[in-house]
Structure 1
Amino acid sequence: MTRVRTANQSAPASGEVTYVSRRTGGAPVRRSSLWRRTGGTWRLYCQQGTVAAGNS
């Protein structure tokens, strides 16, 4: 299950998405993705994930 928590557009050609993902029976993982718009197409620039303690 994945729920988007925030989606911030920090500049006209960039943005950040943060969310928590969880596999059945697994620990929740907090994730963050940085995106850039290049030539009219959004492309993933960087993605990070950290196992979260407890429920989020």
Structure 2
Amino acid sequence: MVHVEYPAFVAEFIATFALVFIGAGSILMDGSTGGKLGLGGIALAHGLALLVMIYAIGHVSG
């Protein structure tokens, strides 16, 4: 029988959802402001989303 760790699965799902949601949101925000956010702002949004997810649920998923 296969042992499935549901908390790790849910944590990975939440982290992936947040990264994609924030990443896509920053790209859409850049487009709606006429490019004022820029590539640095988009990269910063992705990086901060990743940082927050690592600190928030890194201990669960490993």
| TM-score (ref. length: structure 1) | 0.26
| Structure with higher RCO (Cα < 8 A, 6+ apart) | 2
Which structure shows the higher strand fraction?
1
Which structure shows the higher helix fraction?
2
| TM-score (ref. length: structure 2) | 0.25
Rg larger in structure = 2
